[in-house]
């Protein structure tokens, strides 16, 4: 049979932070799939464990043979069973024995090999013949928090969404234009700015959160006017990184301000209203479903409130979020949960409840382009994958190629 797995190979490769990660090759009788795992810096505490003790070297020297001997002879189309086998091989609840990064790379490589065995691209294999939607790219413009150095803003990511773009090419180049525009705007506020960038290619300015918000909005407006399309600001606050559980407060070191949960709700609501934010991710600590629910009830009709560390792509946590009306969007990162089939189950649940799934990169990435295919195949209306930088444009440029292949392409529907 065309899709029977004949070989599985694991190797150590570099990620964008210079750290080791795994790349997996899966060969079938008539196909080949390759995928690599990314890694986070601001990771949620309920994510699966990325690597076992001993790191990538242990996987290459000890785990590769075990996985290969289990998978060889199986049908690559049977991804759900293969993912279950990987969980059995691991034998722990949180994938700490062989690592969620190992299992997710195998799982994605298997899916790519299955698609290749049928001579179709991964997005079509996952989404079927009707797929025709491209995701709006959520582009990273300025970095702070755990993705930048000291003196940068506390908010982790200042993002933009080119919501008026008619196609993916226009959208991707609009984001790149905002990124360029911001360089000059930062220089006018920060005389020491050297043009330094953070982990995801956004600029790292030495300015306050307020100043960053102001120039983010200005850049959206100016570039939007120049290009004649609407561009809206967005944020990933990664607030678990700001939360101090002893003090029960969010600490904004750059601004010298501390906020309790009530003050944080008002602060974020105010930002959303002042700057007409399209999307705010992780405005509260990862355990504060209640804070999320309060904010969503106040502004969920005009802004996407998205859970990343809150849900960690986990179906059970999403279910809790749905019951509490905690959010109206969810970040989808396959390596948070460790397999493609579980990732899909979470996306499906989100869609059934009108929660917008946002397929996302990690701060540590490789040139693997798989998430571009997942976003299109899952009809995710938005993808978070940076704006510039080799490991980010690998995904963006793949979306351009996918758009070219689709007979009747449209931008995503919310």
Ligand X SMILES: O=C(O)[C@@H](CO)OP(=O)(O)O
363 annotated as belonging to a binding site for a ligand: yes
362 annotated as belonging to a binding site for a ligand: yes
Binding to Mg ion, residues 274-293 (CB under 5 A): 281
147 annotated as belonging to a binding site for a ligand: yes
Spell 256-272 as b/e; 16+ CB within 10 A means b.
Answer: eebbebeebbebbbebb
308 annotated as belonging to a binding site for a ligand: yes
Say how many residues make up the chain: 414
**Binding partner of 43, given ligand X, Mg ion, none, CB within 5-8 angstroms per partner class:** ligand X
83 annotated as belonging to a binding site for a ligand: no
Q: Which of 77, 194, 69, 73 is nearest to 86 (CA)?
A: 69
> CA 206, CA 200: separation in Å to the nearest integer?
17
Give me the residue whose beta carbon is nearest to ligand X: 40
Select which of 47, 64, 200, 241 is catalytic: 200
Q: Which of 207, 81, 73 is nearest to 142 (CA)?
A: 207
> CA 180, CA 162: separation in Å to the nearest integer?
15
Nearest to Mg ion of 362, 373 (CB atom): 362
CB 282 within 8 A of CB 243: no
Tell me the closest approach of the beta carbon of residue 307 to ligand X, in angstroms: 11
Number of residues near Mg ion (by CB under 5 A): 3
Residues in CB range of 18: below 8 A, 6 or more apart: none
Alpha helices in 228-306 (DSSP H): 261-275, 289-299
> CA 103, CA 95: separation in Å to the nearest integer?
8
Locus of tokens 């953070």: 198
Nearest to ligand X of 67, 159 (CB atom): 159
Tell me the closest approach of the beta carbon of residue 317 to Mg ion, in angstroms: 14
Select which of 112, 181, 333, 395 is catalytic: 333
Instruction: Give yes or no: 333 in active site.
Output: yes
47 counts as binding Mg ion under rule CB under 5 A? no
Tell me the closest approach of the beta carbon of residue 40 to ligand X, in angstroms: 3
> CA 93, CA 141: separation in Å to the nearest integer?
37
Residues at the site binding ligand X, with contacts judged by CB under 6 A: 40-43, 157, 200, 236, 238, 308, 331, 360-363
Nearest to Mg ion of 82, 312 (CB atom): 312
384 annotated as belonging to a binding site for a ligand: yes
Binding to Mg ion, residues 306-335 (CB under 5 A): 308
Tell me the closest approach of the beta carbon of residue 335 to ligand X, in angstroms: 9
236 counts as binding Mg ion under rule CB under 5 A? yes
CB 340 within 8 A of CB 326: no
Q: Is 30 helix (H, G, I), strand (E, B) or coil?
A: coil
Nearest to ligand X of 123, 158 (CB atom): 158
CB 361 within 8 A of CB 355: no
Tell me the closest approach of the beta carbon of residue 280 to ligand X, in angstroms: 12
Instruction: Give yes or no: 246 in active site.
Output: no
Give the residue numbers of the binding site for (2R)-2-phosphoglycerate.
Answer: 156, 333, 362-363, 384
Question: Which sequence positions are flagged as catalytic?
Answer: 200, 333
Give the residue numbers of the binding site for substrate.
Answer: 147, 157, 281, 308, 360-363, 384
Give the residue numbers of the binding site for Mg(2+).
Answer: 236, 281, 308
């Amino acid at each position: 049979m065309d899709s029977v797995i004949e070989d599985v190979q694991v190797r150590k490769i570099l990620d964008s932070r210079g750290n080791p990660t795994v790349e997996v090759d899966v060969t079938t009788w008539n196909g080949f799939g390759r995928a690599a795992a990314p890694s986070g810096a601001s990771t949620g505490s309920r994510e699966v464990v990325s690597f076992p003790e001993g790191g990538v070297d242990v996987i290459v020297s000890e785990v590769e043979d075990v996985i290969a001997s289990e998978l060889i002879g199986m049908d690559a189309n049977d991804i759900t069973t293969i993912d279950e086998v990987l969980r059995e091989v691991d034998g722990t609840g949180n994938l700490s024995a062989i690592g969620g990064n190992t299992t997710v790379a195998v799982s994605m490589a298997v899916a790519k090999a299955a698609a290749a065995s049928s001579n179709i691209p991964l997005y079509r294999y996952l989404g079927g013949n009707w797929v025709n939607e491209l995701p709006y790219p959520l582009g990273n413009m300025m970095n702070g928090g755990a993705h930048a150095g000291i003196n940068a803003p506390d908010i982790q990511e200042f993002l933009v969404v080119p919501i008026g773009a008619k196609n993916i090419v226009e959208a991707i180049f609009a984001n790149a234009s905002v990124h360029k525009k911001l360089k000059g705007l930062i220089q006018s506020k920060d005389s020491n700015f050297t043009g330094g960038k953070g982990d995801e290619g956004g600029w790292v300015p030495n300015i306050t959160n307020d100043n960053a918000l102001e120039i983010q909005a200005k850049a959206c407006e100016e570039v939007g006017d120049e290009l004649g399309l609407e561009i809206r600001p967005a944020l990933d606050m990664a607030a678990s990184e700001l939360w101090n559980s002893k003090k029960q407060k969010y600490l904004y070191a750059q601004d010298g301000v501390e906020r309790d949960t009530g003050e944080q709700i008002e602060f974020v609501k105010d930002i959303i209203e002042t700057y007409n934010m399209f999307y705010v991710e992780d405005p509260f600590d990862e355990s504060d479903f209640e804070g999320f629910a309060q904010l969503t009830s106040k502004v969920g009709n005009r802004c996407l409130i998205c859970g990343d560390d809150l849900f960690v792509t986990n179906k059970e946590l999403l279910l809790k979020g749905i019951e509490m009306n905690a959010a109206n969007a969810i970040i989808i990162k396959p390596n948070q949960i460790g397999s493609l089939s579980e990732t899909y189950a979470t996306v499906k649940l989100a869609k059934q409840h009108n929660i917008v799934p946002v397929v996302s990169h990690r701060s540590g990435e490789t040139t693997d382009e798989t998430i571009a295919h997942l976003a299109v195949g899952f009809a995710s209306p938005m993808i978070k994958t940076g704006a510039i930088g080799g490991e980010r444009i690998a995904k963006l440029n793949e979306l351009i190629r996918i758009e070219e292949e689709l007979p009747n392409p449209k931008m995503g529907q919310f």
